[in-house]
Amino acid sequence: MGKEFWISFVVVFVVYAILAFVVHGLILSSWYMQQTDIWFTAEEARGMYWHFIAELVFAFLFTMIYSKGYEANKGGAGQGFRYGLLMGLIIYLPMQLTYLAVMKVPGKFLAIQGILELAIVVICGAVLGALYKPEPKPGM
């Protein structure tokens, strides 16, 4: 894991954290506030550090998987966009369908939430693709 990996990881983490805050902390927050029966109270909450750890784990694994499948001649941001789209679909489509099955949450909200989550991952993928361009290995 070279310098490009670590820089990409940090940037993906920052982009993901900012976009997640915009989506969940701003765009969807009023809906979340209306659904008090599905969330911990402030006293019950386990701490935002778990959320921070989850974002770090996502950014690291997202960057790691991309770096292992990186194709040098496939174009940066476009390759990252495709990667983000596929990763977003594999993560959020099954998750939203599961939520639909087990939570008392309107399907329309889950669709909106899923689309916004997908957009976050697609943007992270495009950013990652634009950034991650490792030096060719000797003999290649």
pTM above the 0.95 mark? Answer: no
The pLDDT value given to residue 61: 96
Token pair listed for 6:
């670590």
At 46, give phi and psi (nearest 5°): -90, 0
pLDDT tens digits for the chain (140 residues)? 889 999 999 999 999 999 999 999 999 988 888 877 777 777 777 777 888 999 999 999 999 999 998 888 777 899 999 999 999 999 999 999 999 999 888 889 999 999 999 999 999 999 999 999 877 666 55
Measured CA to CA, the distance from residue 15 to residue 10 in angstroms comes to 9
At 105, give phi and psi (nearest 5°): -130, 135
Measured CA to CA, the distance from residue 55 to residue 17 in angstroms comes to 7
Token pair listed for 25:
């902390």
Residue 119, burial from CB neighbour count under 10 angstroms (0-12, 13-18, 19+): middle
The pLDDT value given to residue 137: 63
